[in-house]
Amino acid sequence: MIDYGLQGKVALVTGAGGGIGRAAALAFARSGASVLVSDVNDEGGRATVALIEAQGGKAAFQHCDVSDSAQVKAMVAAAVHHFGRLDCAFNNAGITNIAADEYDEAVWGRAIGINLTGVMLCMREEAEVMLTQGGGAIVNTASINGLVGNPSQPAYVASKHGVVGLTRHGALRWAKAGIRVNAVCPGVIVTPMTAPLVAKEDMRQLLDSMTPMGRMGQAEEVAEAVVWLCSGAASFVTGHPMVVDGGATAV
């Protein structure tokens, strides 16, 4: 893994109790950042903190439902309380509703509330801190379904398209203030969210076949893109939805 030179920096990661969020939290720590780990899954979040501390890093956990503005405000405040500042934020928390009727208003509302409104609430609070510091970097988790259509997941597709648009908005709004805002757009990745599908051999083979590289991606591969986008190596990159999909959207 690459060291992106984040010594002395502070990173916040939502949805860090497993999957891409945990991989990103560990990658930030390996590059020297102190990490505020957040999730609604307290057990998973604290396990991520333990993994970071086991590799010699610094981390703290804060429970947060990103669809609740008061909890988001408390989460960002916790990062500053524990570590003194906030330099990098990865707004990764999200849900999918593979087996649900996403035209049902309750299902639709929950997906939009977490996947899109949650990102907005996080960006708003993170930027407020970063503006007082003179800069920072924010990365949001979108999806390849934020760039292309999907006939079976209307709420997920709508929310992730919204994240891409919100990312571009933030990039333009805060460009002159030194805050860069980008997104990652993962393809089919092996995570706890996809685990029920991967457990079925025929489904695993189907998912592998959907990617030109012939396999599903790993959470660590997305995490590397996230940390790079937050590092000085990406100092002229903002408003960019970075695809990490093994070529799926190149077809």
> Which of 4, 28, 83, 156 is an active site residue?
156
Q: Which two tokens stand for residue 47?
A: 């396990």
Q: By CB neighbour count within 10 A (0-12 exposed, 13-18 middle, 19+ buried), where does 236 fall? A: exposed
**Residues 99, 153: Cα–Cα separation, whole Å:** 9
Active-site residue, 156 included: yes
Greatest CA separation for the chain: 52
Backbone torsions φ then ψ of 158, nearest 5 degrees: -65, -45
Packing angle, helices 42-54 and 19-30, rounded to 10: 30
Query: Which residues are designated catalytic?
Result: 156
